[in-house]
Amino acid sequence: MCAKKSADPIIDEIRTLRAQLEQANYRYYVEDAPSIPDVEYDRLLRRLQELEAEHPEQVTPDSPTQRVGAPPAEGFPEVQHAVAMLSLDNAFDEQEVRAFARRVAERLETDEQGIRFCCEPKLDGLAVSLVYENGLLVQGATRGDGRTGEGITANLRTLKSIPLKLRGDHLPALLEVRGEVYMSHSGFEKLNDEARARGSKVFANPRNAAAGSLRQLDPGIAAARPLEFCAYQVARIDEAWLRPSHSALMQQLREFGFRASPEIDVVTGADGLVDFCESMGKRREQLDYDIDGAVLKVDDLRAQRELGFVSRAPRWAMAFKFPAQEQTTVIRDVTFQVGRTGRLTPVARLEPVQVAGVTVSNATLHNMDEIKRLDARINDTVIIRRAGDVIPQIVSVVLDARPEDTRAIEMPEQCPVCDSRVERLGDEVDARCSGGLFCPAQRKEALKHFASRRALDIDGLGTKLIDALVEREWVKTPADLFRLEAVKLAELPRMAQKSADNLVASLERSRHTTLARFIYALGITEVGEATANALVLHFGELQRIMDASRASLEAVADIGPIVAGHIHNFFAEAHNRETIEDLIRVGVDWEEVEVGEREQPLTGQTWVLTGTLETLTRDEAKARLVALGAKVSGSVSKKTHAVVAGEAAGSKLEKARQLGVEVMDEQALLALLNQHESAPSSENAS
Ligand code: 9MJ
């Protein structure tokens, strides 16, 4: 990190600042191990910006201030790849993986068991090439057709995990690195949450979000997106820098300042390959990014050269693909589902098809903008994708297969459930049924939410039962639930007297709740558990929340103007106030909470739960932590206070260790919860 001395103290300061900022970037974005606090980083960057503004002749293209440049005037230029960006042959099962090892052994005339392979996760993003001359990034390009790509240097320069200047004193005159640009799950969710809060379009998956971001001409857009780069190949390097193996080159790339996958492993023989593919398949769910398989490469570079290429793919590498998560099928019809807040979601009714072992017959189309983006019509052939346990998505329409008899998908003018008018407010993406709780669909969804585990937790009141109660008009509002009598309930088909008695008993138990659960149960748009807790901690009592102005709502930690608006509008509606009064009338109550900003024992701390806990469910652990003032997050960062690691904890645990975040097991968590939950300071005043 040492900066060379010059005669001019300003130049010295500029050099030192750049070195400090580069080191901080490297530690944060490549090593996941931040070295300085954010405020310190901001201070250094501001100081460098000031000095560069005063001395513009000192600005260099590799300065950390120069990541976001001007958009190219005439679109992206064509870039010829000096070495073709080849695709990889695929293997879909163990036999094909073993056949790959056998072919390699035959060509090399060696014993299969002795061959070393470098195995890597197969990232599902966009392949790019980066060219460095004398250590400086001079060109970044997409893969394109493998021979010609698009020059997207300005966009790639904005990724902080891509070094603008290689690390080290002795550098190759030429280096071409290839790797994948992708978006992490946590980055993707945050981006979509922000888009939703603004009422703008959401991305269907992290890959689309990454691709969409790199396609923008204005590099300011890519700079604002959580894109990451992981290196996986050296395409060109000076002879003197060549290493004997691919894995040694990967290590060299790390030393130059690139991120290479921490999952990389060198194995021997076909058994090693098969074990790696299996273990990667198991670890897949725990990674914070999408992978669609494993890439298996002969490690020895001399052997790679000897093996050479067949047509478009190297003989020394193979992509093992996890079972297909994508399939083609046909949209037979589109229906509109009405959600809790009246939002109409178009759902494609598909010709049933098997995707990764599950029959898929529906896929969400999100909203009308998404339909327009996909250019989807009824009777179109589409590619659908099922990843993990998420709802199947439509990836694209196969336009070449479009038949003559397609029909446009149109938003109905009336709610398909209650016939009320459908409205689309201003430039909001979503269309909504204007029927409110008059609409049985909204009523059903609102009641399901009200009864759900994290809300009033009414045991035994499932989806089917709620549907039956609403259809018979026995229940119109949440308060009606508490007026149900066991004798009447027992009249329902398949409802034994004992189940009816149990339901009434659990309703009786749920009547006594907490204020935070009650507020969450009301189903105010964008008010989740965390916001409900924050409101209670801030205001203490319901009446103060109901009467709060927008400005005072915005003063609550983590509540912005949009959520403040939703809360304010909700309590401004007379019928919502009546619902609340009615609930209180039928005996729903909670203990009073101490008013004000009294600190809870874990206030200000962010916790992460990972792996399987033995005695607690994740929801229970979360609820108990939140009740003590903690925030519970899905991803580990340097701001995480502690990570609770259960059985089979994966990448989050690893990340916590890398970042030096405290890790505790379930026993330690239970001890801490018990200690605080029984302490007088955490008791509610009554
Ligand atoms: C991905 N997609 O993660 C390669 N890849 O190597 C890895 N792709 C590759 N390696 C040579 N890890 C051509 C493509």
Q: Would you state the pLDDT for residue 679?
A: 57
Q: Would you state the pLDDT for residue 595?
A: 52
Q: Rounded to the nearest 5 degrees, what angle is found at the Cα of 222, between the Cα atoms of 218 and 223?
A: 105
* Domain boundaries along the sequence of the chain: 9-59, 90-321, 326-401, 420-597, 606-682
* pLDDT interval class at 2 (50, 70, 90): low
Give residue-wise pLDDT tens across range 74-118.
789 999 999 999 889 889 889 999 999 999 999 999 999 999 999
What is d(CA 38, CA 23) in angstroms, rounded to the nearest whole number? 13
End-to-end CA distance of the chain: 59
Residue 256 backbone dihedrals phi, psi, to 5 degrees: -75, -10
Please name the CATH architecture into which domain 420-597 falls: Orthogonal Bundle (1.10)
Distance 405 CA to ligand 1 centre (A): 41
Query: 476 catalytic, yes or no?
Result: no
Residue 457 backbone dihedrals phi, psi, to 5 degrees: 50, 60
The DSSP secondary-structure symbol of 309 reads E
90-321, superfamily in CATH? DNA ligase/mRNA capping enzyme (3.30.470.30)
Distance 261 CA to ligand 1 centre (A): 11
Give residue-wise pLDDT tens across range 515-553.
999 999 999 988 988 889 889 988 989 999 999 999 999
What is d(CA 557, CA 560) in angstroms, rounded to the nearest whole number? 9
What is d(CA 224, CA 159) in angstroms, rounded to the nearest whole number? 10
Q: Atom 5, ligand 1: which residue's CA is nearest?
A: 122
Distance 399 CA to ligand 1 centre (A): 29
H/E segment holding residue 113: none
With the C-alpha atoms ordered 67, 154, 128, 238, is the resulting torsion angle positive or negative? Answer: negative
- Is 60 exceeded by the pLDDT of residue 648? yes
What is d(CA 52, CA 63) in angstroms, rounded to the nearest whole number? 10
Mean pLDDT, residues 341-349 taken together: 93
Mean pLDDT, residues 562-573 taken together: 90
Q: What type of residue sits at position 529?
A: E
* pLDDT interval class at 42 (50, 70, 90): confident
- Is 80 exceeded by the pLDDT of residue 433? yes
Length of the chain in residues, anyone?
Answer: 686
H/E segment holding residue 413: none
What is d(CA 523, CA 513) in angstroms, rounded to the nearest whole number? 16
Q: Atom 11, ligand 1: which residue's CA is nearest?
A: 233
Nearest partner of 295 among 104, 124, 81, judged by Cα: 124
* pLDDT interval class at 683 (50, 70, 90): very low
Strands 291-298 and 116-123: antiparallel
Helices and strands of the chain, counted as H and E runs: 25, 26
- How many CA atoms does the CB half-sphere of 605 hold within 13 Å? 19
Please name the CATH architecture into which domain 326-401 falls: Beta Barrel (2.40)
Three-class secondary structure of residue 69 per DSSP: coil
Nearest partner of 616 among 669, 675, 677, judged by Cα: 669
- CATH class for domain 606-682? alpha beta
Residue list, ligand 1 pocket, CB within 6 Å: 88, 120, 122-123, 180, 232-233, 295, 317
Among 295, 310, 321, residue to substitute to test ligand 1 (most atoms within 8 Å of Cβ)? 295
492-525 as b/e: b if 16+ CB within 10 A: beebeeebbeebbebbeebbebbbbbbbbbbbbe
Q: Would you state the pLDDT for residue 196?
A: 76
Distance set, CA 333 to CA 343, 350, 367, 406 (Å)? 19, 7, 15, 10
Q: Rounded to the nearest 5 degrees, what angle is found at the Cα of 31, between the Cα atoms of 179 and 387?
A: 55
Q: Would you state the pLDDT for residue 158?
A: 96
654-665 as b/e: b if 16+ CB within 10 A: bbbeebebebee
- CATH class for domain 9-59? mainly alpha
What is d(CA 655, CA 638) in angstroms, rounded to the nearest whole number? 9
The one catalytic residue in 5, 122, 622, 655 is 122
Among 87, 124, 128, 180, residue to substitute to test ligand 1 (most atoms within 8 Å of Cβ)? 180
Residues 6+ apart with CB under 8 A from 263: 120, 121, 280, 283, 287
Residues 654/283, Cβ–Cβ less than 8 Å: no
Radius of gyration of the chain from its Cα atoms, rounded to whole angstroms: 29
What is d(CA 35, CA 512) in angstroms, rounded to the nearest whole number? 48
* pLDDT interval class at 685 (50, 70, 90): very low
- Is 60 exceeded by the pLDDT of residue 658? yes
